[in-house]
Structure 1
Amino acid sequence: MTEKLNLTGPADLLATVPHLLGVKPAESFVVLTARAGSLGATLRMDAPEHAEPMNYAQTLTSHAANDEQATASYVIVYTDEDLDGYPYAAHVAALVNELAAARMPVRNVLLVTSGYWAEFGTDEQHTLAQITDSQANATLTYFGSAIDVDVYNPALLGTWTQRVEAPEGTEEDIEDACAAWAAVLEATANPDQQKARAIAAAFQHKMVRDFLFRETITTHNGNFADVMLGKFTGRPDWDRVDRAETLAFELMKVVPAGQRAPMLTLMGWLEWLKGHGSQADRYLKHAAADVPGFRLAVLLRELISRGALAEVARDNETAYKRRII
């Protein structure tokens, strides 16, 4: 699906945010960057509470500035605090100034509470039904976008399956694992249980896992660090990336809890490459819970928490194209 979704007003814009983040924001500031004719990055930070306005604004703006092609921005405040006035007014003012200084002037500031939405700084309140009933929300839902749906549910995946044994990590193991992974990425059907367990076992070995991560991307220079940071030699095959994420979920079905962290980390990393930081963090958090302190997941979460954007997502020519947005 490559159609273009036209946003005709604030309600449409507000309707897209939960779809972009994968969750309805609460007590948050959201910045949407904008490029010529389209939205760019979507960034969310917890509401500032006691944070000093200028520091908060500079931090959020520094994250938004990772979208080097942005020429404008939108600011949305989600809160139920101080409903009699204009919540976080000083923080909003500082953020507007910082974004303007960063050459991303704010087109609009919106306020969303649990009871209404409004243009920030105005007294006219609009019903939330305008958002849920908007054309944008209807279109996104129709084409399969869901909010607050987490595909990883350990209880539903079950605990009956036996653990797999990781390979020794020899060169032959790496070659065999990469060949098997490439084959299922290029296939249309999901692997049978035996093949899936063999690939899932390969993901359990750190070195083999790293090669499988790299094998997912065909436009790389061979450097694993570059691959992990999204520094590719060209536009990756995003259909292959989507396929890899689907397969990662299938692989989790054939191993028990405690062996799913590598696949969850792969899913989180792929979401980050797409520019979906919030979804990425959700998977990485699950990975760190499945195997406490799972190192790669922890490192990627730290990267995301600093507002880092994958190199591939910075360039409109190489970035993942959101469906109809």
Structure 2
Amino acid sequence: MTAPERLTVRGPEDILGFIPHSLGYWPASSLVAMTLHGTSLGATLRLDLPAPDGQGDPFGFAGAVRRYLESDQDADGSLLAVFTSDAGMVPPSAYDLLISTVQCSLEQAGMPVRAAWFVGDDYWRDALCSDGSCCPLPGRPVQEIRDSMLNAEMVYRGSSVGPAPRTGSVPEAPVPAMHLAAVLEAQASWEEELGGRFRSRAQFKAVLGFWQMLLDRASVDAGVPDIERDAFLRATLLVPTWRDAVMVMAAAGRNAAEAGAERFNVFQEGDDGDGADESVVVLPLLLPPAEFPLSASPVGTPGTDMAGRGAAALRPPRRTVARSGSVPAGYGEVLMGLAPSVPDWARLEALERVLGQLAVPGGQAAAAALTIRGWVAWCRGRGSYAAAYLQQALELEPEYRLAELLLDLVGSGTLCGWAARKEAAWQKFGEDTAG
């Protein structure tokens, strides 16, 4: 959801009410940090809280918060919110030391903490206020946050707050069992039809062309499943070369997808892909417009999310380099978010919608669809959702290699290169959402 106009923050209830909309869910056992650009809200970061028993490393945790927020180079201040149970609301809070350590770290980075709050299950209070006369215990009702003007405005504009991502909890639209059985039966036929054509350049181009047509048409909001289409698409995802090419094409364009495949020498010798090829298998292109229901947009490490304007995050393992000229970006650069300088976010959104339909019947094709959805969530800087998709893929296929590699990236604290740069990052709410 993109808010085309600025939203006015009238008080802390509005700021705290904005956080769940920014992340996509109400956080729990979390520290949420938000950057400020003057009086405007910037990026939103969520991290799992360390153990409250003092065994955690508050300095290491504070350093991680600082590294994430420093990527928002325009930030001149910050806000903190600790979402915990009401048991942690009674002073002295188990997280007082953590907040003071994060405060000190952000002060040194030129992003002083201007306000901080504890948010429990039933009450919330100012974390920096020690005067019982103005901040009486147990605090103010959390319902004030849910009833805030900004929260109501966000709901009115179409934003929603879903459940927190968990392994196996990614919601999908219900699909009739008869449809699922028919898709699996048709998929088996397509696998047989496509067998032996994995190294055909002409077949590769035909598959990519069909996906391109589909993504260009997948901007509608509603529709019904199509058995043959879904079965064909699932069958193509079983071929790693085709699967990876679809990912690259969605983000960087068809030229990059085709050029990258050429570099890997995946095609059989003597196949130039020119002219008519009667052996090419593909659904007829004269299909009715592809229609996919809108699914909930997912939110990087497990327990780390960056969202909001400019989704600044940890920098990737090597420096982001914007490419120019006519040479297409390589597969590795695209999959890591290092090129192009800005991806095609509209086409990635269309891809995510299509994959939501294909992941439902299960099997290795579903694992592929869930893995790509996890990659799209990672590209957006939404690590908790990325981890949920990838773990769900591995539940279906325990040794699915691409899911394992991406989950290693997510788990190590590496975020997509696009999420690390404000000018390239996915923006859920558009520019200057609140101020």
**TM-score, normalised relative to structure 1:** 0.88
Look up the match of 1:285: 391
Q: Calculate the aligned-residue CA RMSD, in Å.
A: 2.6
Look up the match of 2:315: none
- Computing the radius of gyration from Cα coordinates, the structure with the larger value is 2
Q: 2:147 aligns with which of 133, 140, 163?
A: 133
Q: 1:233 aligns with which of 323, 340, 343?
A: 340
| Amino acid in the other structure paired with 1:140 | M
Output the CA distance in 2 between the equivalents of 1:300 and 1:314.
Answer: 17
Superposed, 1:1-325 pairs within 5 Å as 1=2, 2-35=4-37, 37-49=40-52, 50-80=55-85, 81-85=87-91, 86-122=93-129, 123=132, 124=135, 125-142=139-156, 143-148=158-163, 152-153=170-171, 156-157=174-175, 158=177, 160=181, 161-162=183-184, 164-165=187-188, 166=191, 167=194, 168=196, 169-170=198-199, 171-188=201-218, 192-218=226-252, 221-253=328-360, 255-323=361-429, 325=433
Residue 118 of structure 2 contacts residue 127 of structure 2 at CA under 8 Å; is this kept in 1? yes
Instruction: Tell me: CA distance 1:52–1:235, structure 2 relative to 1, closer, same or farther (3 Å).
Output: closer
Unpaired segments ≥5 residues, structure 1: none
Residue 259 of structure 1 contacts residue 290 of structure 1 at CA under 8 Å; is this kept in 2? no
Residue 20 of structure 1 contacts residue 276 of structure 1 at CA under 8 Å; is this kept in 2? no
Count of matched residue pairs: 324
| Amino acid in the other structure paired with 2:160 | S
**TM-score, normalised relative to structure 2:** 0.67
Give identity over the alignment, percent: 25
Please give the per-residue CA displacement for 1:227-277, whole angstroms capped at 9, x wherever unaligned: 111122333332222111111112224x43443111112222112222222
Instruction: Tell me: CA distance 1:309–1:65, structure 2 relative to 1, closer, same or farther (3 Å).
Output: farther
Output the CA distance in 2 between the equivalents of 1:22 and 1:40.
Answer: 14
Output the CA distance in 1 between the equivalents of 2:346 and 2:359.
Answer: 20
Question: Is the partner of 1:162 in helix, strand or coil?
Answer: helix
Question: Is the partner of 1:108 in helix, strand or coil?
Answer: strand
Output the CA distance in 2 between the equivalents of 1:146 and 1:270.
Answer: 19
Residue 261 of structure 1 contacts residue 294 of structure 1 at CA under 8 Å; is this kept in 2? yes
Question: Is the partner of 1:260 in helix, strand or coil?
Answer: helix
| Amino acid in the other structure paired with 2:212 | A
Please give the per-residue CA displacement for 1:84-114, whole angstroms capped at 9, x wherever unaligned: 3123111111111112223322221111011
